[in-house]
Chain A
Amino acid sequence: MSTGQGISTGQSTNTGQGTNAGQGSLGFVMLCHTALHRAGQVARYWAERGCPVVIHVDSSTPDAKYNQMREALADLANIRFSPRHICEWGTWGIVAATQEASEIMLRDFPGVRHVCLASGSCLPLRPVDELREYLDARPRTDFIESVTTADVGWTVGGLNAERFTLRFPFSWRTNRWLFDTYVELQRRLKVKRKLPKNLVPHLGSQWWCLTRQTLSAILESPQRKAFDAYFRRVWIPDESYFQSLARLFSANIESRSLTLSKFDYQGKPHIFYDDHLQLLRRSDCFIARKIWPHAHKLYATFLHPDAASHPRAEPNPGKIDRLFAKAVERRIAGRAGLYMQSRFPNSELANGRTAAQYSVFEGFAQLFEDFDTWLSRVSGTRVHGHIFAPERVEFAGGETVYNGSLSNSARLRDYNPRSFLTSLIWNTRGERQCFQFGPRDNQTIIPFIAGDPNAQISVISGAFSVPLFQSNLNFSEIRAEAARLQRIEAEMLTLLRAPDVKARVRVWNLAEFVENPMEPLQMIVDEISPRSLRRLTEVPRLTDLTGFGQFLQNLRNQGMKPELMGDFPAGGEMPGPGGRRQRPYLVR
């Protein structure tokens, strides 16, 4: 007897109209257009458990399929089929179909007290008895999401209050141009429709559960003709007709839907698959839509005759809400700093150029002998050498391949420096990256870094001359190289001082830095690791600059103009404490 599918065996307990008084108190109106076999399965499930069902099938669905469904459900006495309408999205047809089906429900099943509107892709998540008990305990309550237009944030397409004040005779699906043009025309002409007396427009989910009293009051209202005529030209009336009218006739509205139904950012319903099973189970909602028609496991599980329910609780779709909210966020905002096949933001977007904060140091490695090891020790970060050096990428520890299998080949890097940097920062997210930069390095990356709020750039201008000062080159070569590097660094500083720079940039010239190195170092380290706000107890070793002033003077004498280094007294001793002592002061 058990076929695994379970539900279609017809061996259920209560076939036909309610066998006991309470059984028939809940009825379903189903609007179907595709996957009729699934809709039929659900209708059978409800009908066999004593809930009358009135089914409406879109008249654009092929007749063969419609007849097939009628035949399949012919053995059930409490199922009715209502006259078919064309149900194009956003048009009156859906409301007309709902009205007519509801009338049949109220007429043919006098025992029904609550009517629940469902679609062909809905699936009950809890045994129908639980829903019935829930409603029996709230016999006068109408469950219909109904919110005034001013409070609605979720409508898609920009039409909100205008849904009610303009006319929409043209199809949005097939005649988009006419639709848009006519809307625009009415806006220009400042057309405003007059609302029927007393009516306050409300919007809400299409899927409601109304009491006989309220529903019949809506359908039998003396004003119905006027209401219908008005809503016929309202945009998406299925989300406003009952939602507005219920406000006029209901004594007790609970503004929420019993059907779990979530919409994505395009206004399309999210779809549930087999792998949502546990999530749906734990939601404690009564009905969910929309279910993928091929989600065999979901249908088999929730329609199974022994589908047991765990301890009853109020519906709590919080987890599902979060899941879908996250999905929408991923689609709209994405992951900052990620560049990949389906996310490639325009470069003008400053926000999220890179995935995490990082630091760029220019001149520090030249001025201090052990800057990188010192920095990585005091700040707990990864400190690379010149990763844009012309010879190779100087990864920390001299690695030839780095995180994410980034190669240290300078050619590969220079082929697309921006991809290289964004990959490095993305690959190492969770660990702050610091690297050295200088005028010898590939400068094409500078505009990108300068426009990146994640970058912290610290420059000791003119420090590029220190290795030249220590080098063993002929002075004419030194002079030429110094002039070249100075020109490059000056260009870079111009870029870094532009008004549209987003990076945090700090520039000292060599002379002022040497005079007081502690303060800048403390500031930089504090910024990198703000939690460890403590005084530096250890500082990197300053390179020996004895004679540097004379070196600069020699450059001047040779006709070059060293500008970026600041004022070093020619030939004299180094200024400040740094020159006289091997290590700068520790200010305690």
Chain B
Amino acid sequence: MSLAGSYRLRLRRKRLLAKALLHQRDLRPVKLRVETIRRNTVLLFCTLRNERVRLPWFLQYYRDLGVGHFLFVDNDSDDGSREYLAGQPDVSLWTTKASYRSSRFGMDWITALLRRYGHGHWCLTVDVDEFLIYPFCETRPLRALTDWLDTSGIRAFSAMLLDMYPKGPIQDQPYREGQNPFEIAEWFDSGNYTISRNWGYGNLWIQGGPRARTFFADDPKSAPALNKIPLVRWHRSYAYISSTHMLLPRGLNLAFDEWGGEKASGCLLHAKFLDTFALKAQEEMARGEHYADSREYKAYLEGLKEQPDFWCKWSEKYINWRQLEILGLMSKGNWA
């Protein structure tokens, strides 16, 4: 990369950080417990709006993995999410009525919190419907992974978004609070992903899966990106560019091996396609607060009307991380 090119990226990063600082003022603390954060605590950062029914399982899942503290930004929920989170002993909560869209879809808020509280910690940035799977996650806590990443000198861990879906129309099996969403959405696409390199930022651009297959078959370019780098040993000078798809400085995006080897990686199981989805899609369409004019939701609503079933006879039923490893969706790398 040319000197001018890297300088441009540096400016870009500084601008992102400045914007985050600006948007920090949007945030009003509801309940802060940040003083309980210890030097080695793994932190989780999350923005949400009206996700009350999902929260109990979400918190439970990440507590079991060993997340030590949760930092939430509530974007004006009115379904009790805020009150529920404020009552949790390991949660720090901010709230805001400001626009999700104009804060770079929540990333400005998260960047501000990451900069303030994440420095020096392993930080996991996810949505409430994203569940991290990594090699050996059944037997080794998150701390084992982050310790290993530390000793290997790795600062960022990639986890591709894997869309999970139920068999049959998504409205058929209602999701109960506290339920494992993957009891319902237990299917996924194992081998229809397209990958290309994004030379500007050095990351991989992954698309495909059930959404591309059903909603974007006519316009594959617009299909949502699935590459994610959610787990990073944060430094206050880092910034996410677009969602958690890529970061600056760009060296953090090199989570893949170019010479044939495999680096360690995980998956984010995406529990988006539950019965709550149709409702969400309508609400978000009305708000128009989502990426690219809510194009995704528009496509969903159109698609959902005619063909509400993602399942096909080649759909793969989720078993465990080893299955994902064998299928080549994630890798142990040299972690054994």
A265 to B261, CA, bound (A): 12
- Identify the closest chain B residue to A419 (Cβ): B194
Residues A342 and B191 in contact in the complex (CB < 8 Å), given A275-B136, A292-B147, A335-B328: no
Residues A271 and B148 in contact in the complex (CB < 8 Å), given A331-B261, A411-B220: yes
Complex contacts, B197 vs chain A, CB 8 Å: 344
Residues A405 and B256 in contact in the complex (CB < 8 Å), given A265-B334, A411-B218: no
Task: Name the one of A268, A341, A349 contacting B152, with C-beta atoms under 8 angstroms.
Answer: A268
Residues A401 and B217 in contact in the complex (CB < 8 Å), given A271-B148, A426-B191: no
A340 to B144, CA, bound (A): 24
CB–CB B191/A403 < 8 A: yes
Size bin of chain B's contact surface: 35 or more
CB–CB A331/B190 < 8 A: no
Query: How many Å from the CB of B17 to the closest CB on chain A?
Result: 26
- Identify the closest chain B residue to A417 (Cβ): B194
Residues A330 and B262 in contact in the complex (CB < 8 Å), given A273-B140, A335-B328, A342-B255: yes
Residues A405 and B139 in contact in the complex (CB < 8 Å), given A340-B328, A343-B263, A344-B204: no
Complex contacts, A412 vs chain B, CB 8 Å: 192, 212-213, 216-217, 220
Query: How many Å from the CB of B255 to the closest CB on chain A?
Result: 6
Complex contacts, A411 vs chain B, CB 8 Å: 217-220
Complex contacts, A292 vs chain B, CB 8 Å: 144, 147
CB–CB B263/A342 < 8 A: yes
Interface size on A, residues (CB 8 A): 52
Query: Is B330 among interface residues, defined by CB-CB distance under 8 A?
Result: yes
- Identify the closest chain B residue to A272 (Cβ): B336
Complex contacts, A327 vs chain B, CB 8 Å: 332-336
Residues A415 and B221 in contact in the complex (CB < 8 Å), given A333-B260, A343-B262, A403-B191: yes
Task: Name the one of A271, A341, A343 contacting B206, with C-beta atoms under 8 angstroms.
Answer: A341
Residues A419 and B193 in contact in the complex (CB < 8 Å), given A330-B331, A402-B314: yes
A349 to B259, CA, bound (A): 8
Query: How many Å from the CB of B269 to the closest CB on chain A?
Result: 14
Query: How many Å from the CB of A224 to the closest CB on chain B?
Result: 35
A326 to B257, CA, bound (A): 17
Residues A334 and B336 in contact in the complex (CB < 8 Å), given A294-B144, A340-B331: no
- Identify the closest chain B residue to A355 (Cβ): B328
Query: How many Å from the CB of A352 to the closest CB on chain B?
Result: 6
A339 to B206, CA, bound (A): 10
Query: How many Å from the CB of B253 to the closest CB on chain A?
Result: 11
Query: How many Å from the CB of B231 to the closest CB on chain A?
Result: 13
Query: Is A222 among interface residues, defined by CB-CB distance under 8 A?
Result: no
Query: Is A328 among interface residues, defined by CB-CB distance under 8 A?
Result: yes
Query: Is A110 among interface residues, defined by CB-CB distance under 8 A?
Result: no
CB–CB A405/B189 < 8 A: yes
CB–CB A342/B192 < 8 A: no
A327 to B263, CA, bound (A): 10
CB–CB A405/B312 < 8 A: yes
Complex contacts, B151 vs chain A, CB 8 Å: 268, 271
A332 to B334, CA, bound (A): 8
Query: Is B38 among interface residues, defined by CB-CB distance under 8 A?
Result: no
Query: Is A68 among interface residues, defined by CB-CB distance under 8 A?
Result: no
Complex contacts, B306 vs chain A, CB 8 Å: none
Query: Is A281 among interface residues, defined by CB-CB distance under 8 A?
Result: no
A405 to B187, CA, bound (A): 11
Contact string, A406-417, partner B, CB cutoff 8 A, digits 1/0? 110101100110
Complex contacts, B334 vs chain A, CB 8 Å: 264-265, 327-328, 330-332
Query: Is A4 among interface residues, defined by CB-CB distance under 8 A?
Result: no
Complex contacts, A103 vs chain B, CB 8 Å: none
- Identify the closest chain A residue to B260 (Cβ): A345
CB–CB A334/B261 < 8 A: yes
CB–CB B139/A273 < 8 A: yes
CB–CB B220/A273 < 8 A: no
Residues of chain A from 396 to 442 with CB closer than 8 A to chain B in the complex: 401-407, 409, 411-412, 415-416, 419-420, 423, 426-427
Query: Is A228 among interface residues, defined by CB-CB distance under 8 A?
Result: no
Task: Name the one of A265, A330, A342 contacting B158, with C-beta atoms under 8 angstroms.
Answer: A342
Complex contacts, B207 vs chain A, CB 8 Å: 415
Complex contacts, B259 vs chain A, CB 8 Å: 345-346, 349
CB–CB A340/B195 < 8 A: yes
Query: Is A249 among interface residues, defined by CB-CB distance under 8 A?
Result: no
Query: Is A338 among interface residues, defined by CB-CB distance under 8 A?
Result: yes
A352 to B260, CA, bound (A): 8
A10 to B161, CA, bound (A): 50
Complex contacts, A170 vs chain B, CB 8 Å: none
- Name the residue among B147, B194, B336 with the largest chain A CB count within 10 angstroms: B336
Contact string, A350-394, partner B, CB cutoff 8 A, digits 1/0? 011000000000000000000000000000000000000000000
CB–CB B213/A341 < 8 A: no
Complex contacts, B219 vs chain A, CB 8 Å: 411
Query: How many Å from the CB of B185 to the closest CB on chain A?
Result: 15
Complex contacts, A274 vs chain B, CB 8 Å: 139-140
Query: Is B294 among interface residues, defined by CB-CB distance under 8 A?
Result: no
CB–CB A405/B191 < 8 A: yes
Complex contacts, B330 vs chain A, CB 8 Å: 340-342
- Identify the closest chain A residue to B190 (Cβ): A404
- Identify the closest chain B residue to A320 (Cβ): B336
Query: Is B125 among interface residues, defined by CB-CB distance under 8 A?
Result: no
- Identify the closest chain A residue to B205 (Cβ): A416
Task: Name the one of A265, A335, A341, A416 contacting B265, with C-beta atoms under 8 angstroms.
Answer: A341
CB–CB A341/B139 < 8 A: no
Query: How many Å from the CB of B224 to the closest CB on chain A?
Result: 14
- Identify the closest chain A residue to B212 (Cβ): A412
CB–CB B192/A407 < 8 A: yes
Complex contacts, B264 vs chain A, CB 8 Å: 342
CB–CB A331/B262 < 8 A: yes
Query: How many Å from the CB of A348 to the closest CB on chain B?
Result: 10
Residues of chain B from 195 to 249 with CB closer than 8 A to chain A in the complex: 195-197, 204, 206-208, 210, 212-213, 216-221, 227
Task: Name the one of A265, A332, A340, A401 contacting B329, with C-beta atoms under 8 angstroms.
Answer: A340
- Identify the closest chain B residue to A270 (Cβ): B336
CB–CB B190/A345 < 8 A: no
CB–CB A406/B192 < 8 A: yes
A330 to B335, CA, bound (A): 9
- Name the residue among B197, B264, B314, B334 with the largest chain A CB count within 10 angstroms: B334
- Identify the closest chain B residue to A265 (Cβ): B334
- Name the residue among B148, B189, B261 with the largest chain A CB count within 10 angstroms: B261
Complex contacts, A401 vs chain B, CB 8 Å: 213, 312-314
A274 to B140, CA, bound (A): 8
Query: Is A323 among interface residues, defined by CB-CB distance under 8 A?
Result: yes
Residues of chain B from 278 to 317 with CB closer than 8 A to chain A in the complex: 312-316
CB–CB B191/A332 < 8 A: no
Query: Is A266 among interface residues, defined by CB-CB distance under 8 A?
Result: yes
Query: How many Å from the CB of A397 to the closest CB on chain B?
Result: 12
Query: Is B258 among interface residues, defined by CB-CB distance under 8 A?
Result: yes
Complex contacts, A338 vs chain B, CB 8 Å: 262, 328
Contact string, B152-183, partner A, CB cutoff 8 A, digits 1/0? 11000011100000000000000000000000
Query: Is B272 among interface residues, defined by CB-CB distance under 8 A?
Result: no
- Identify the closest chain B residue to A429 (Cβ): B328
Complex contacts, A264 vs chain B, CB 8 Å: 334
A336 to B260, CA, bound (A): 8
Complex contacts, A475 vs chain B, CB 8 Å: none
Q: Give residues in A with beta carbon < 8 Å to B.
A: 264-266, 268, 270-271, 273-275, 292, 294, 323-324, 326-328, 330-336, 338-346, 349, 351-352, 401-407, 409, 411-412, 415-416, 419-420, 423, 426-427
The 5 closest A-B pairs by CB, nearest first: A404-B191, A331-B334, A327-B336, A342-B265, A416-B194
Q: Give residues in B with beta carbon < 8 Å to A.
A: 136, 139-141, 143-144, 147-148, 151-153, 158-160, 189-197, 204, 206-208, 210, 212-213, 216-221, 227, 255-265, 312-316, 328-336
13 chain-A/chain-B pairs, Cβ below 8 angstroms: A274-B139, A330-B262, A331-B257, A331-B261, A332-B260, A332-B334, A334-B262, A340-B195, A404-B189, A407-B213, A419-B193, A419-B195, A423-B191
Give 4 new A-B contacts, CB below 8 A, not counting A341-B158, A341-B329: A264-B334, A330-B261, A330-B332, A340-B330
